[in-house]
Amino acid sequence: MDNNRYESHRPRKRVSRKTLRNRRLAALAVIAFLVLLLVLLAAHACSGDGKKKSGGKNSTPTTTITTPTTTTDPAITTTAVTTTATLTDPVNKSDFKLDRQTIILEVGETDMPRVTGYPDGMGEADERWSSGDATIATVDNIGNITGIKPGVCYVTLRSASDPTQEVMIKVTVRGDGSTEATSNATPQSNTAEAPEPPVYDTEGLTYMEGVLIANKSYSLPATFEPGLEPICYQQFQALSGAASKEGLSIYLNSGFRSYHDQEIIYENYVKEDGKDKADTYSARPGFSEHQTGLVIDVNTVDDAFGSTREAAWLAEHAHEYGFIIRYPQGKESITGYQYEPWHIRYVGSKLANKLYKSGQCLEEYFNIKSEYN
């Protein structure tokens, strides 16, 4: 993504030595001026307001930090974000760029994260904002986020034309002088038990031992739209923070997907590869585990991810944070999906530990099928 897009391709004319020398001096002066300008711009990069329109990836910040550190303490994360907001990518790996990854509001207060870059060929018209919990914070169609009641939720910015392009921002709404909202969001590290996943009171959901099932045999209603579960995201942050201490970068690529998002994705794959092939790697709408809000695809959705150090670490440690590698190698005929080393499912530590030890996949453990009717 970091391309040399700033090169000049002006045509050159033949010139005399003197002119050349003069031009070199002039060029040096111009370069010195530009360097000064860049330094000044960098110093003021945080002070802009309003949405910056951009022509796509050109707006990728030129300053890069090689290893973004994620910490398990939300208070520290917040501080780190405010100071380095324009320098680091959010944990989300999307071509959408936001100027921050968290926002803290009082009840009734409104703030708007700035979009500092769009995926190629997309612009403001593609923005689709949604709140994971509108009882905590609402968001309008241009990204104004308003605190409703104390708590933590996630606001997602997704592209209307390509729902795989999404970026998430954590919203903390503070109560009157209380810091409870941030403290109850403390992720559990592997020194503590990862909490149980939530149980929804929605018709048409299948639970086994408190675990929401979504596979080719068990679908979810189209209206079921929980958003990315805060507990799933918090545990993921703890996991990602632990990995970064080992010098590894595990980031969120894709989280919650609605029925409608999946409809678009699946139809596109069917167009490209045909239904039979598409069914081996993409879920039909209503059958995607991403619709549970308890799933995260990390890093790159690519077979090559499987041979990275990150994938090896994830396979060894995901259960400590309550996650399982949902579609393991060699279980394709049981899970109904090809090996996906990047797709982790939050099930809480009890079940995650059991499955890690036994080597079973979810279908084996519950003795269920994963086949389309």
Interface positions with Zn ion (CB under 5 A):
297, 343
Smallest gap from Cβ 283 to Zn ion, in A, equals: 9
For Zn ion, give the closer residue by CB, 102 or 288: 288
Report CA torsion sign: 294, 296, 302, 307. Answer: negative
Smallest gap from Cβ 224 to Zn ion, in A, equals: 17
| Contact present, 320 and 190 (Cβ < 8 Å) | yes
Smallest gap from Cβ 326 to Zn ion, in A, equals: 8
By C-alpha distance, which of 50, 177, 179, 185 is closest to 111?
50
Question: What are the two backbone dihedrals, phi and then psi, of residue 104, each rounded to the nearest 5 degrees?
Answer: -120, 125
Tokens coding 306 = 């499987």
Give the C-alpha separation, 157 to 131, whole Å. 9
For Zn ion, give the closer residue by CB, 116 or 288: 288
Smallest gap from Cβ 81 to Zn ion, in A, equals: 26
Smallest gap from Cβ 313 to Zn ion, in A, equals: 18
| Contact present, 169 and 113 (Cβ < 8 Å) | yes
Smallest gap from Cβ 216 to Zn ion, in A, equals: 14
For Zn ion, give the closer residue by CB, 245 or 260: 260
Neighbours of 320 (CB within 10 A): 22
For Zn ion, give the closer residue by CB, 127 or 297: 297
Smallest gap from Cβ 320 to Zn ion, in A, equals: 20
Q: Find the length of the chain.
A: 373
Question: What sections of 151-229 are H helices per DSSP?
Answer: 180-183
Which residue in the shown chain puts its C-beta closest to Zn ion?
A: 343
Query: In one letter, which amino acid is 8?
Result: S
Burial class (CB in 10 A: 0-12, 13-18, 19+), 45: middle
CA atoms within 13 A on the CB side of 367: 0
For Zn ion, give the closer residue by CB, 94 or 116: 94
| Contact present, 81 and 101 (Cβ < 8 Å) | yes
Query: In one letter, which amino acid is 57?
Result: K
Smallest gap from Cβ 28 to Zn ion, in A, equals: 53
Tokens coding 255 = 């989280």
